[in-house]
A and B are shown apart, each in its own frame.
Chain A
């Protein structure tokens, strides 16, 4: 009589058989440090390369700005001149803000090429003195079923009539909601095509996102350019930045000082402003930024959340996120934002933001005893006040979460100061998970959760946790006002 094996028993045995030894901790920690360091360095290098490409154009922009200033002084009473100068920047859908201080060229017309029922459409090309942007989409046959082969990662490039090749500088996927047949829409940015060259060949070794061999390869598509139709470029108005708030203000009851009753509120040097507005046929895109001067804020450590836009009648104006104009470097201590709105409102608009910053803190610790065998769901009160920076955090309780494997603790914290989130660690054990768990828009005084996990076993005895970073609500009036 054969012995029947329960499927779950077989799976358990299979799991045992397929198991391999855990990696050496020293190797893992070493590779972790290398990955983080090299990833960070690579990102900075990429951003610097991007910025260098902009240097020339920035110089040109500054030269033009001086020229414009002189012209404005001479022709200050001629409003038509001022209006014309506002058109230095323009906006092209799917491309974003472009500098049109020199002639902008575009594709003479969209192009479509079909091979084996795969159809590639070159939807747009925008050529400025800074860059060449090409947008293409493709559709696949109805029965297209990609095989599991690796993706074809060969990069697209442009070949000019004299044989010069322009490599792709960056590319990203675009939305396809407005194209029911599109399997993919992709934007590619290349270097500048000289002003006297109006033809080029786009080389697509593969269709982006298709596995090798699953779709026709090595597409060559000839492109022809012409001066852009002005109606294809939306006007952009540039604004002088008026940061708010600009001053450190006096303490209020929402910011209890520790030891110094007259301590000022720290706004961390955070400012923000509206930079540009693109005027589209169906609405506007508002471009702005947030910047800070306090170096204790982590790189990209300020989150500016747009809570609402209200018009002059107090009516909510719907908004959507838009592609920002640029990407700041970590050392820039700034972040850009962009929001798209419609045209159905009564000016002026008020944009209300919620500003949160992530701050590195050196220390602040507490000790708790998890007990000999803490069970999932088991909660223990801690009730300790910890000085973090110069503010008090109340560590209320700890609960073992019901997760497997390992041990994961959730700490409930609260502060009467502007601390609304925290990342705490056990410095003696690398984290198997953790991080803050505050609700989306916490207010001062709200309890918040911070977690920490041990992958295998618990340390013996009491555990000391240290504050690694905190999230703070940046005080101030984060409202911007704008009229078209």
Chain B
């Protein structure tokens, strides 16, 4: 059983209650715990940094509005990421675009370094294989490897059992692995 994501461990019911009461340190604690994950999640779904920044801003402003309605069930991560997902879906509805794991957004400096290593070919192949996943599978990969949510948090967000999420991701990895091996065969 995986424990709560340590990145988000500091946000408990008291933090939320204090934030609701206007405690600025509690609000800052919530922001610090989630801002980067939510930004990364948005950037992985949209084409541009300005859009990702806009969606991140929209997400946190929506959090302020929705916070009084939050019901604590030890699921704050799922709750806040649900708001982020809704904002992303609104964006795609407005722009009629689609989401994808956007490898072109990878950090150039990191890309340059990583391209120099042996895995460069595997990376390129993996990128192309990710495009073959359906949206639900891409969302799982995005939440797990871009937003870095724990299995428990993903399960709460998607309303599924933790074990089911683990198995789904395991299946995706197995399939990717087979496809990668087939490529090298």
Q: Which residue numbers of A lie inside 8 Å of B, CB to CB? A: 1-5, 7, 10-11, 13-24, 27-28, 31-32, 34-36, 38-44, 46-47, 146-148, 150-151, 153, 170-173, 208-209, 211, 298-300, 327, 329-330, 403, 431-433, 435
Contacts and interface: CB of A to CB of B under 8 A. Distances in A.
Contact of B105 (A21, A41, A147): A21
A437 to B, nearest CB: 11
8 contacts: A17-B127, A19-B107, A20-B40, A23-B35, A23-B40, A34-B60, A43-B20, A147-B159
Interface string B3-41: 000100010000000111111110110011001100110
Given A2-B184, A147-B159, A327-B21, A16 B31 contact: no
Interface of B: 6, 10, 18-25, 27-28, 31-32, 35-36, 39-40, 43-44, 49, 52-53, 56-57, 60-61, 63-69, 71-72, 82, 85-86, 101-103, 105-107, 110, 114, 119, 122-123, 126-127, 130, 141-142, 145-146, 157-160, 173, 176-177, 180-182, 184-185
A21 B130 CA distance: 19
Contacts of B110: 16, 19
A21 to B, nearest CB: 4
A317 to B, nearest CB: 25
Given A17-B101, A40-B23, A43-B22, 15 more contacts: A5-B177, A10-B126, A14-B176, A17-B130, A20-B107, A21-B106, A23-B35, A24-B49, A35-B60, A38-B61, A39-B24, A146-B159, A148-B159, A327-B21, A403-B6
A147 to B, nearest CB: 6
A14 B126 contact: yes
Contact of A23 (B23, B36, B60): B36
Contacts of A327: 21
A18 B142 contact: yes
B105 A31 contact: no
Given A31-B56, A42-B65, A172-B71, A299 B22 contact: yes
The 6 closest A-B CB pairs, nearest first, are A43-B22, A18-B145, A2-B185, A3-B184, A148-B158, A39-B27
Contacts, number: 171
B180 A14 contact: no
A32 B31 contact: yes
B184 to A, nearest CB: 4
A15 B141 CA distance: 9
A65 B29 CA distance: 44
B22 A44 contact: yes
A209 B86 CA distance: 16
B185 A40 contact: no
Contacts of A146: 159
B21 A330 contact: yes
Nearest to A18: B145
Contact of A21 (B107, B158, B180): B107
Nearest to B114: A16
Contacts of B160: 148
Q: Which of A43, A300, A431 has the most CB of B within 10 A?
A: A43
A18 B44 contact: yes
A5 B6 CA distance: 29
B22 A13 contact: no
Nearest to A21: B107
Contact of B145 (A14, A38, A431): A14
B61 to A, nearest CB: 7
B142 A300 contact: no
A452 B167 CA distance: 37
B86 A150 contact: yes
Contacts of A330: 21-23
Q: Which of A18, A173, A208, A209 has the most CB of B within 10 A?
A: A18
A327 B71 CA distance: 17
A409 to B, nearest CB: 16
A36 B86 contact: no
Nearest to A28: B35
A41 B24 CA distance: 10
Given A3-B181, A23-B53, A47-B22, A32 B35 contact: yes
B36 A13 contact: no
A151 B185 contact: no
B119 A13 contact: yes
A2 B182 contact: yes
Contact of B82 (A151, A298, A403): A151
Contact of A150 (B40, B85, B142, B177): B85
Contact of A300 (B18, B65, B130, B184): B18
A209 B159 CA distance: 11
A23 B44 CA distance: 12
Contacts of A38: 61, 64
A373 to B, nearest CB: 21
Given A19-B107, A147-B159, A300 B56 contact: no
Contacts of B32: 32, 431-433
Q: Which of A23, A39, A433 has the most CB of B within 10 A?
A: A39
B126 A17 contact: yes
A305 to B, nearest CB: 13
A149 to B, nearest CB: 8
A173 B122 CA distance: 50
B145 A15 contact: yes
B31 A35 contact: yes
B24 A36 contact: yes
B181 A18 contact: no
A18 B101 contact: yes
A46 B56 contact: no
